Homo-oligomer: A and B are copies of this chain.
Amino acid sequence: MPPGGHPARAEALATLSRIAHEKMVDDEIGRLLERLRPLEESLEYDSDDASLIRVTRRDWEKQRRVPTELRVDLTRAAALGNQVWIEARATNDFAKFLPALQRNLELKRRYVECFEWDDSPYTPLLDDFEPYMLTSEVADVFATIRPVLSELVREAPRVDASFLHLSYPVAAQVGFYERVLATLGLDEGSYRLDPTVHPFCTSFSRRDVRMTTRFESGLDGLWSTMHEAGHGHYAHGIAPSLERTPLAGSPSLGLNESQSRTWENLVGRSRQFWLHWYEPLQETFPSQLGEVDLESFLTAVNRAEPGPIRVEADETTYSLHIILRFELEQQLIEGSLDPKDLPEAWNAGMADLLGVEVPDDTHGVLQDIHWSQGGIGYFPTYALGNVISLQIWAVVLEAIPDLDAQMEAGELGELAVWLRDNLYSLGRKFTPKETIERLTGTPTIDPQPYLAYLREKLASQPAGV
């Protein structure tokens, strides 16, 4: 979009959100839901139809609490904030961004007032992305992982990863990523991969999965492709019977992110995966990797190395970036942090949590798009995804005992089918905790498998460059 397009886009989005909201909160939907109650009660809890009625009722009741005008204002402010953020980040100008942030925060506080909460006004915001999750639950998980990660990052050996950031010809990257994608178990003709600045995956239906990656940061695009393929897998695996219903999605962003992390990290940084793929990768990039042995490669792609930018962070450091944002967001919503003091608080948090000095706001508080769009309550789901991914992975390893051997043979099909059948296909039928319990036997978010995974990974790293 040319920059001049922002204001009209904001109005168009505001109008669409008005139409969608008015349709959703209509009294008629409530009457229909009431009429369906006997049917719902006559059906199995797990059935598609009972789930459809139950989840739609919850959506309806939640959206009914929000006045249409507030919904429209939120949408417009998010779109306009986005434009201001682009300019502010480009010019390292937090003062320019501040009014848009204040406007979005003010609207988010009015949004919070539409709901009841026990622990924190942050909980209704969190609920938009991680339904039924309390702020206090997230805080407990983060309190457990924070000191461990902080110590792991500070003690991690510095390793040579410079070969990952040489120049890798784009056409060869595309070819290799497409080869890997073809083995992930996605149906041919239902996905595509395109270049972008900031990778994302969007899906318009089960068979219309659009992944993007970037080709300008050495080999990073490989893991960003695997990451987006995880999101794509989720959308692709939703049961056909749920298409074009409110159930065609994932129960929460945390669960969705757990799968992007699974494919990116648990598969894409594993020794087993690279026992198959490293030779083809070397053959594709002989001048960049011909002299790098598998051990050095694995050490580099599994290293922990703190830096100021979240999207460039390694697996271990990543959740620390999130914890900082979670803490600042709560303070902003609770009112204990004045938005104008945000850069200072950000920089102090980065020093405290990661031991990183922030060079400027562009590489600090202005680095992410989310707050400019009023996306508050979203960040924690990234770290929850990391945690949940390891809980689910433990079950996967039990269910597919020879998964290691399969991965070494370049076979990911059984993994894909298992995850589809046991997780992706469920869509939004169940709450996040119900979904996790179905898979793992417990609804609790347990950070221990995640911490054990990172500890073991970093303990095996050779010391020093």
Contacts and interface: CB of A to CB of B under 8 A. Distances in A.
* Copies of this chain, count: 2
Contacts of A206: 8
Interface in A3-46: 3-5, 7-9, 11-12, 19, 23
Nearest to A2: B192
Interface in A433-455: none
Contacts of A2: 189-192, 207-210
A198 interface: no
A189 B3 contact: yes
A207 B9 CA distance: 10
B5 A204 contact: yes
A419 to B, nearest CB: 20
A1 interface: yes
A5 B1 CA distance: 24
A208 B9 contact: yes
A204 B4 contact: no
A204 B3 contact: no
Contacts of A19: 19, 23
A414 interface: no
A3 B190 CA distance: 7
Nearest to A3: B189
A243 B207 contact: no
A208 B11 contact: no
A205 interface: yes
A155 interface: no
Contacts of A205: 5, 7-9, 12
A207 B244 contact: no
A192 B4 CA distance: 10
Contacts of A106: none
A327 interface: no
A204 B244 contact: no
Contacts of A140: none
**Which of A8, A19, A23, A191: most chain B CB closer than 10 A?**
A8
A338 interface: no
A4 B210 contact: no
B244 A11 contact: yes
Interface in A400-457: none
Contacts of A12: 204-205
Nearest to A205: B8
A190 B19 CA distance: 27
A187 interface: yes
17 contacts: A1-B208, A1-B210, A2-B191, A2-B207, A2-B209, A2-B210, A3-B189, A4-B187, A4-B189, A4-B207, A5-B208, A8-B205, A8-B206, A8-B243, A9-B208, A12-B205, A19-B19
Given A1-B208, A2-B208, A19-B23, 5 more contacts: A2-B192, A2-B210, A8-B205, A8-B208, A8-B244
